[in-house]
Amino acid sequence: MNIFQQQHWIVGSVMSQGEEIPRVSTSLTSEDIMGAIKVRLSISRMDYAVEPGLYVVGSPDATSPVLVSANYKLSFDNLRKELEGLDVWILVLDTKGVNVWCSAGKGTFGTEEIVGRVRSVGLDKMVSHRKLILPQLSAPGVAAHKVKGDCGFQVIYGPVRASDIKNFLKAGMKTTPEMRRVRFDFLDRLVVVPVEIIQWAPHVFLLGLVMVALSGIVGTGYDVNLLCTRGFMALIIVLSTFLAGSILCPALLPWLPGKAFSIKGMWVGFIIWGILVLSECGSTLGIHFPLEAWAWLPIILAIISFIAMNFTGCSTFTSQSGVKREMRYAIPVQILLLVIGIALWIKAGLL
């Protein structure tokens, strides 16, 4: 119990069947919010986990509902902040600190863990009913009929979003079709941007450095002075293209024409290239020659198309067969574009 009581979100406890069960707060403190921001910005991604086990909100009795949660703290916080005024049990599973969707996909939010956790906390003695409410998005990992067979508890899939839980309970544990559907809203899409940027930044930086090294190639030899001018500008363009693409692709996703993400990304590439050429042609970025401006088009398209394609993992509607099919076409095209672009760009330097 000691480790529980060190957590700021634990507010007292209740006694049930001779055991002390920690009670959790339903409001998030600035500490919770800062923690969430840090995790989202990938500053501290590890160990954002809640100790698995049984918790309560309010003062539940033997007839109160049991909500099952992943032990990723963001998922847990997301749930408890919606439970104000309720009396419920929360069964926190050991999902290795991973969210519901990803842990269900890996099977850690799964039948075995649920059955084992129900037994280890002695849930059958704490409640008189035999129902567990699971987040709908855990269904890929859980076989409801097997849970029932193994421990007698019936799995009821609740809403996708914790914010619908009160309405779900009020309706007698019934979800509406709307509650069951995943959405992929503007904020859902933007919140994953930092993770994506951090994931690919080193690779893109490397590409920029290669271009810096190549920028010194002149007609007859190698001009080191160019590294700091033309080369440096190339690095800046590559990095800003990457950053702009990482934000614009997810932000504009539903409005970009095409189904494949790599094609959606191409449109953003055209926009960024257009802005670059219009605003900087012949000025500070040193794009003096039309060829150099043209060279940047395939390079930018390749970068943005790749970044957009990798956004498939963050989305909630791309299938693995679909992504594999998309990649089969997109990756060769992206590589070709990059090679053509860099060749043109080197050529532009020779002029």
Q: Which residues bind another protein (CB under 8 A)?
A: 39-40, 45, 48, 72, 74-75, 78, 97-102, 105-106, 136-137, 139-145, 157, 160, 175, 177, 180-182, 184, 188, 192, 195, 199, 253-254, 259-261, 309-310, 312-327
Distant-in-sequence, close-in-space partners of 194: CB < 8 Å, separation ≥ 6 = 40, 41, 42
Rounded least distance, CB 79 to another protein, Å: 10
Q: Which is nearer to another protein, 64 or 75 (CB)?
A: 75
Task: Tell which residue, 44, 95, 38, has the closest CA to residue 72.
Answer: 95
Rounded least distance, CB 295 to another protein, Å: 26
Rounded least distance, CB 313 to another protein, Å: 3
In the DSSP assignment, the letter for residue 42 is T
Distance, CA of 241 to CA of 233 (rounded, Å) = 12
Question: What's the helix, strand, coil split of the chain in %, to 5?
Answer: 60, 10, 30
Distance, CA of 307 to CA of 260 (rounded, Å) = 12
3-class secondary-structure state, position 27: coil
Q: Which is nearer to another protein, 49 or 281 (CB)?
A: 49
Rounded least distance, CB 185 to another protein, Å: 10
Rounded least distance, CB 121 to another protein, Å: 24
Distance, CA of 207 to CA of 299 (rounded, Å) = 10
Rounded least distance, CB 234 to another protein, Å: 25
Rounded least distance, CB 16 to another protein, Å: 29
Q: Which is nearer to another protein, 131 or 181 (CB)?
A: 181
Q: Which is nearer to another protein, 100 or 237 (CB)?
A: 100
Rounded least distance, CB 98 to another protein, Å: 5
Contact 260, 229 (CB under 8 A): no
Distant-in-sequence, close-in-space partners of 241: CB < 8 Å, separation ≥ 6 = 272, 276, 300, 303, 304
Distance, CA of 252 to CA of 257 (rounded, Å) = 10
Q: Which is nearer to another protein, 35 or 349 (CB)?
A: 35
Contact 301, 337 (CB under 8 A): yes
Distance, CA of 207 to CA of 225 (rounded, Å) = 20
Q: Which is nearer to another protein, 184 or 222 (CB)?
A: 184
Contact 261, 288 (CB under 8 A): no
Contact 94, 71 (CB under 8 A): yes
Distance, CA of 186 to CA of 228 (rounded, Å) = 39
Contact 176, 294 (CB under 8 A): no
Type of residue found at 102: C
Q: Which is nearer to another protein, 117 or 189 (CB)?
A: 189
Q: Which is nearer to another protein, 22 or 265 (CB)?
A: 265
Rounded least distance, CB 100 to another protein, Å: 7
3-class secondary-structure state, position 76: helix
Q: Which is nearer to another protein, 159 or 231 (CB)?
A: 159
